[in-house]
Amino acid sequence: VILVPHSHNDPGWLKTYESYYHYQTRNILNNMVDKLQHFHNMTFMWTEIAFFAQWWESAHPTKRRVVRNLLEQGRLEITTGGHQWVKNNLGLAPKSGWSIDPFGHGATVPYLLRAAGFGGGTVIQRIHYAWKQWLAEKEMGDVLWRQNWDSEGVTDMLVHNQPFDIYSIKHSCGPHPQVCLNFDFRKIPGEYTEYSVRAVPIDEHNVKQKAELLLEQYGRTGSLFPHNVVLMPLGDDFRYDHDIEWDQQYKNYKMLFDYINQNKDKYNAEVSFGTPSDYFAAVKERTNNFHTLKGDFFVYSDIFSEGRPAYWSGYFTTRPYWKILDRELEANLRSAEILYTVALNRARQNAFNKTIQLLERDFERLTKARQALALFQHHDAITGTSKAFVMHDYALKLFEGIQDTVPLVVPRNEPRRIVLFNSLAQQRQDVVKVRVATANVRVLDSDGNEIPFQINPVWNMTGSFGAAKSTEAGDGPEPDDSAKSGSTAAGAGGGGGGGGGAGGMQMARDLYEVMFVADLPPLSLVTYVVERVSERNLEARSVVYCASCGRSSSDPSYVSPFEIKGMQAGDIQLENHRMKLLFDGRSGFLKAVTRKATGRTTQCGLQFAAYPSAQFHSGAYLFMPDPNSRDPEREILADESSGRRSLQIVITSGPIASELTVVYSSILAHSVRIYHAAGPLSEGIYIENIIDFEAPPKNRETELFMRVVSDISNGDPPEFYSDLNGFQMQRRVKVERIGIEGNYFPITTMAYIQDSTRRLSLLVNHAQGAASWQPGWLEVMLDRRTLYDDSRGMGEGIVDNKRMLTKFWLLLEEITEGDPKDKYSRPSLFAHHLSNGLLYPANLFVVEGITDPGGSSGQSAAAAAAATGSGGSAGAAAAAKGSDGRDLDLHKKVQLLTRPFPCDVHLLNLRTLSDSTYMQFPSWSALLVLHRQGFACSAGAGVVVPQCSLKGTAPGGGDGPSLAFHPRTMFRDVKLHALTHTSLTGLHAKAKLKALDQLQLRPMELATLNVTFVL
């Protein structure tokens, strides 16, 4: 029996991260250093590096020395994360994982740990109670978790499932919680708990009886495994924060151990303190052949209350505003990292010392943004399952991170010089939208040629919609002051809007939106210009179809600068050269899509409705529709007073896009847009929703969803595919008897349903829940409000909903020949292409104080952009002035690569590492992280992704390793000193490479290269 003392420290939950640190975590770590010096055979483990790093900053050198000694002796183990920090500060590489509190487990984390070079195993805890029972019956507590696409076992990771409910001492010493309460010896004056009442100290009179009682529990636990080793955690949330608890647990357990070990022949048992790595080593000594599992452990369910299962599928969607903010920071930080790495090393190699100083100073801001993003991945943060004031604290940290990666300035001058940064390593089209004060403009590309563009109205909401559209999470701040018109601008013509009321939507005066399609080379900065012209450009202005939006209630003489047409009765049609969309004229929602190439029509009706929440059973964590409700789904768009739907439909159509927006009072403004430009954009249907639950108790006990109802025959019971961590797809099959709550699954990038000839995909830009409850259906949860707590510890409902913008692509793809049933399902190349574009939109800088473009002065635009703002943004202004105050010239186009990456090789990141001695400074090395995105050849074959080459693929299109890059792929204008293929987090070297084009990579795999630049 290996007893593992641990303390589970949530970096924020019922208190903020700082509050937990100052009042509890700091004491735990100080006590650890103190007590482990006294108790020579006691061990401890730690996994929350966010806390540990903060403690280390202020720890006395003597304490640091003790920690290093404990780590060397193997009495303290650091598990799971923070690899670069752990290596630089503690000189070691973690080798075991510890995930005892996430609510359900996906297959990606075991893959990441294996790819990071973990040789031990990883511990998981919270999985469905029925899975726990099944694994116990099969004696499969320790299994190899294998990835779905892996036929050879190269991804296998040893995983230990803790067999009982949760990780507290009460629930982990064995199957009988009431017995286990006797063995939690914490007794703090003034603390009254069920264990402090039950547990009595061990002495010579009761040691035999207590040891045998404990051994019986250990034995029952051991009987669930095929070997004779038991891992026994000893801890709980924020345990060991009082020094007296160390004494209580150690001294009582030591007496029990000593008694058992003295009688080990009698009891056939030996007990000692240890770490997770000790356990995995002991298990591997005794077992050669482990069972393998594929798939994942969603949805998690417990059975604590009232003896009926509770499904933890609410948190997949809870607090979507924060989930969007998280992805905004992730995208901005990624762009900033890539630009920073190239700019810093160009500046160093050209000896631009002022720029180097600026960039070295900015490295701290980059690090802080990384930490804010990393902290928010915590299982009570990204999930939305912390108290409201803690969530607010997280939001501030995320927002500061966005500010640290983005210069937010609003420029005023004209013409506008716009620099777009394409952070993807492939050619892409992106739609750019900027606000201007006049409709008489034109758009020039980097060669000075005029390109097609469209002028849209900006909409004012005279109903109940509140703030300006450009402040939503999920929509980058557009480079202009959207409140110029003196009222709010919710931009229905340019993607979303809302309102209602008598006035409904009205066009803003003197404020317009310019929309154009930018063709962007791989990993490049490209300059565009929006400038005033004297003549009226009527062909670029969209035509607006609406009932009354062109009139002004305050000024009857007002003449709109747009052509305005009335709405015809009946259904509505939008079309481009690839497809035709049919909308219901009464609701404004999509009904059917016809592909022009095949003439085939697919029914795909959009619906919005809500599940009424079961009070006290649906909350931040849990999802459960009200079983006593008259209707399983509730009409959400009708007015509460009249029971009727009041809505307003507006269509804008121009040379770039055609769009239909329908507004239902405050709760929903829904837009569907199709593009006319040739290329991948014209093959998908772009959807935006602005959702506003308003102040509680409005929309109470409401779980709002968007559903596509199609005629695709995806089986009965229906099957759908959901992504795991944006990394891979997992097949989901409906289980009728567990209700909709047990059939909702987490998605972070996409979900799809398919039959033998068609696939319908929904690409998303943030994490949410998805389900396919009936054949042909695919739905996503949009937002949730429950007034009551769901009894899982948070202690409050969710009522802090914020107005937000969500973005989707709806794709209909032909399937040529069906993939064999047993083959692993993957998205198409086209779906990957649009998804990468949705997650990582081009960063937009508006540049002030620049002379005419051209001329190549000292710095590239990459260096200028990075030096002025340490990164990229969805809308930012950079003042580019030299150190002597003179204006700098801008290159028209800067390409950072000699050749694009193959279109299935995604550049995950290029991030500069900290200097190993002076960690606040950047080193000369960066980690280049790649993902070869496995794709289905059978889906989306009719869609051509431009300049998409797959030269690197394996012979015969197999799944073996093949070259990851085209020959002679290099970074331009930066010289490399060394190139090493490493483990995922850069800790273990695998092989030295002479050039990028030597790297081999299998489909689906991640790879990391340590790139060291010339000094």
**What are the residue numbers of the active site?**
101
CA distance 89 to 634: 55
Alpha carbon distance 287, 257 (integer Å): 26
Strands (E), 841-971: 843-848, 876-879, 893-895, 905-914, 922-932, 962-963
Distances from the Cα of 897 to the Cα of 343, 423, 427, 524, 894, angstroms: 13, 11, 11, 8, 9
C-alpha distances out from residue 525 to 15, 104, 860, 1011, Å:
43, 41, 9, 22
Residues 6 or more apart whose CB falls under 8 angstroms from that of 922 comprise 344, 359, 360, 363, 912, 913, 914, 915
Contacts of 857 (CB under 8 A, 6+ apart): 882, 888, 889
Q: Residues 602, 711: contact at Cβ < 8 Å?
A: yes
Q: Is 787 exposed, middle or buried (0-12, 13-18, 19+ CB in 10 A)?
A: middle
How many angstroms separate the Cα of 532 from the Cα of each of 198, 215, 849? 80, 83, 17
Name the region of 665 (left: φ>0; alpha: ψ -120 to 50; beta: rest): left
End-to-end CA distance of the chain: 53
Alpha carbons 943 and 759: distance in angstroms, whole number: 13
Cα four-point dihedral sign 157, 163, 165, 171: negative
* Cα–Cα–Cα angle for 826, 827, 828, rounded to 5 degrees: 120
The whole-angstrom separation of Cα 955 and Cα 499 is 57
CB of 710 within 8 A of CB of 603?
Answer: yes
Tokens of 899: 């050749």
Q: H helices within 74-176, ranges in order? A: 83-90, 108-115, 129-137
Cβ atoms of residues 145 and 156 within 8 Å = yes
- Which of 121, 118, 111, 156 shows the shortest CA–CA distance to 141? 121
Distance (Å, whole) CA 259 – CA 878: 71
Cis peptide before 415 (omega within 30 of 0): yes
DSSP classification of residue 812: E
* Helical segments of 185-242, H only: 194-198, 207-222
Distances from the Cα of 714 to the Cα of 344, 409, 708, 733, angstroms: 51, 49, 13, 10
DSSP character at residue 22 = I
Strand partners, 685: 810
Residue 958 is given by DSSP the state -
Calpha distance 32→242 (Å, rounded):
10
Dihedral through CA 193, CA 195, CA 200, CA 202, nearest 10? -130
Contact call for residues 340 and 843 (beta carbons, < 8 A): no
* 511 close to 671: Cβ distance less than 8 angstroms: no
H/E stretch holding 996: none
Measure the CA–CA gap between 420 and 855, rounded to whole angstroms: 19
| CA–CA distance, 700 with 920 (Å, rounded to integer) | 47
